């Protein structure tokens, strides 16, 4: 088969076939009387082998080594190719991130593009001070998606605080940019997302935070519950009561429960949840003491109802504490 026909059937250009010949990679088995290259079936099979190996990212030199050495083992070379491909993908992801950041800033001139690129360099700096400086720069108008990505990746608490402050100044896409963080497989990323969402007012942020109430990580659940409870959302009550039982930020949880109980529609549910936990056997004294203290944070009438009900409690420490707290509330003018 002549070179033109081989090129047509294989999809490899005649120029590349001549290059393969010059390299000794695929030499045609014969020549016509006129000196034209003539390829046998075995030559064509070798062409397809070359092209197949090239699709894996092998160089022509590596392809030649593979085809000429019957004892060549692929594992090491394939491992190298995997690492090279992963490196390229990472570089491409970084490039895509930069391009999206620039695009989301809607630049009107190349000066705007350069400003965003400089901010990207600052936010990606290995220096925490440099990252914080970039977030707090007075002239910085960083797109919300870029800030959200930086927040979700930031381990330094001071830098994270600066980034959250900067995000609060963004005028759009704030909640939508943080929401994917709550779906991360990394609990630390979910914690950062909740902390950032907790500082954003409005129903949109509250709706996303509500998804954190079922998170498998206690810290995520707790931060979501504290934020939602502070916004008057009764859906946070079961988690807040659980925090009191577990002793995780129980003082903060008790204060938020007290504030929520000022709403008559939520008060009975909160009282009932605390009483249910107090009556649930077995409970150690430490758990029940925290529940008593939480009950004391409720509005006076409800608090006294719970505390007086513990006057004859079998645990004398609990009974005495409940009586003492009831006395303090009554002295302050409670019912």
pLDDT grade, residue 165 (50/70/90)? confident
Proportion of the chain above pLDDT 90, given as a percent:
57
Q: Which long-range contacts (CB under 8 A, 24 or more apart) does 241-247 make?
A: 241/270, 241/273, 241/274, 241/277, 241/294, 244/274, 244/277, 244/290, 244/291, 244/294, 245/277, 245/287, 245/290, 245/291, 246/218, 247/286, 247/287, 247/290
Q: Please give the distance of CA 252 from its chain centroid, rounded to a whole number.
A: 26
CATH architecture assigned to 3-72: Orthogonal Bundle (1.10)
Q: DSSP H helical segments within 105-186, as ranges?
A: 110-123, 128-136, 144-153, 157-169, 174-178
Q: Mean pLDDT, to the nearest integer, of 230-247?
A: 96
Proportion of the chain above pLDDT 70, given as a percent:
98
pLDDT grade, residue 141 (50/70/90)? low
pLDDT (0 to 100) of residue 144: 83
pLDDT, tens digit, for every residue of 217-229? 999 999 999 999 9
Q: Mean pLDDT, to the nearest integer, of 10-18?
A: 92
pLDDT (0 to 100) of residue 335: 53
Region of poorest pLDDT, from 67-76, 262-271, 272-281: 67-76
Give 144 or 330, the one with higher predicted confidence: 330
pLDDT (0 to 100) of residue 219: 96
CB 325 within 8 A of CB 292: yes
Helix (H) or strand (E) holding 224: helix 218-230
pLDDT, tens digit, for every residue of 284-311? 899 999 999 999 999 999 999 999 999 8
């Amino acid at each position: 088969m002549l070179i033109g026909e081989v090129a047509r059937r294989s999809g490899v250009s005649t120029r590349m076939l001549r290059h393969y010949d010059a390299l000794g990679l695929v030499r045609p088995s014969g020549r016509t009387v006129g000196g034209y290259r003539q390829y046998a079936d075995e030559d064509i099979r070798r062409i397809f082998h070359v092209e197949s190996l090239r699709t894996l990212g092998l160089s022509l030199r590596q392809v030649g080594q593979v085809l000429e050495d019957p004892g060549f083992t692929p594992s090491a070379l394939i491992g190298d190719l995997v690492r090279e491909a992963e490196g390229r993908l990472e570089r491409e992801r970084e490039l895509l991130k930069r391009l999206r950041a620039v695009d989301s800033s809607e630049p009107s001139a190349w000066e705007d593009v350069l400003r965003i690129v400089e901010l990207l360099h600052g936010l990606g700096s290995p220096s925490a001070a440099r990252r914080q400086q970039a977030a707090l720069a007075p002239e910085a108008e960083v797109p919300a998606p870029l800030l959200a990505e930086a927040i979700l990746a930031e381990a330094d608490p001071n830098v994270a605080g600066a980034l959250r402050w900067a995000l609060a100044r963004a005028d759009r896409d704030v909640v939508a940019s943080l929401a994917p963080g709550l779906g991360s497989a990394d609990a630390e990323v979910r914690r950062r997302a909740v902390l950032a969402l907790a500082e954003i007012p409005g129903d949109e942020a509250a709706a996303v935070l509500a998804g954190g109430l079922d998170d498998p990580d206690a810290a995520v659940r707790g931060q979501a519950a504290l934020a939602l409870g502070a916004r008057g959302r009764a859906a946070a009550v079961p988690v807040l009561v659980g925090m009191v039982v577990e002793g995780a930020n129980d003082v903060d949880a008790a204060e938020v429960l007290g504030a929520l109980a000022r709403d008559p529609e939520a008060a009975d549910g909160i009282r009932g949840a605390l009483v249910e936990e107090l009556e649930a056997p077995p409970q150690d004294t430490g758990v029940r003491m925290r529940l008593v203290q939480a009950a004391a944070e409720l509005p006076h009438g409800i608090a006294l109802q719970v505390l007086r009900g513990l006057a004859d409690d079998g645990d004398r420490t609990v009974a005495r504490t409940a009586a003492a707290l009831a006395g303090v509330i009554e002295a302050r003018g409670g019912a």
